[in-house]
Amino acid sequence: MTRRLARPEHEKKSTCGLTRILKAVNEYSGALLAAFTALLFVATVLLWWATRDLVEGAKDTAESELRAYVIPTKGDVRNFGTSAPLEASIRIRNAGQTPAYRITTSIDLRLGEDFTPQPVDLSPDVLGPGSETNLLFVASRLLTPEEESKIKEGNLTIYVFGEIRYRDIFRIEHVTKYRRMTRTRSGALQGTGDILDLYNAKEGNDSN
């Protein structure tokens, strides 16, 4: 006849404690799994959001670096003090790395601060990266002696202004508005001979 040995009391308590722990884990395993799944979902969404912002930022940076930038670089007014009408010239340049498409331009010359826009040249053109071209305007009349004197004295200003519209390689429309003006310094009209220098006006220059 086999004799069974009685378990020590501490072993019985350990077994009961382990049973309770396993039972508790079994009861709450579903809730723990659900909580873990929810945390994993939130982490995935946050990672997607951060990645999306990073991709969008890289795209915007690439577009801004590669797009066309058509800007006026310099200009002048010719035939001042002669018997010929004033002639304004503005040189524009594509300072970007890709061509500018469907370029339309306008240019006008006014005495005083009248900046009513003229119709835009509706003959679309293309300007490659680094390329330049001139915008020209010839006044419809001669200056009067009084106007010429006021300009020399700095009491009347010649303004040359207009805008450049174009589309970049990413099919985004852009507008560059420019306004240049003559000026006197120390009582002397700035220029050489019949050619007057043009300077940026405080207002009227803008681009997107």
Whether the pTM exceeds 0.95: the reply is: no
Distance CA 200, CA 208 (A): 18
Query: Where is the domain boundary, 45, 66, 87?
Result: 66
pLDDT digits (tens, 9 = 90+) for 69-81: 999 999 999 999 9
Q: Could you tell me the residue range of the domain that residue 15 belongs to?
A: 9-66
111 and 52 both lie in a single domain: no
127 and 150 both lie in a single domain: yes
The CATH number of the domain where 180 resides is what?
Answer: 2.60.40.10
31 and 82 both lie in a single domain: no
* More confidently predicted of 118 and 116: 116
Tell me, what's the pLDDT at 80?
A: 97
Q: Are 103 and 70 in contact (CB under 8 A)?
A: yes
Considering 3-7, 109-113, 166-170, the range whose residues carry the highest mean pLDDT is: 166-170
86 and 133 both lie in a single domain: yes
110 and 171 both lie in a single domain: yes
Angle at 51 between CA 48 and CA 53, to 5 degrees: 110
* More confidently predicted of 10 and 128: 128
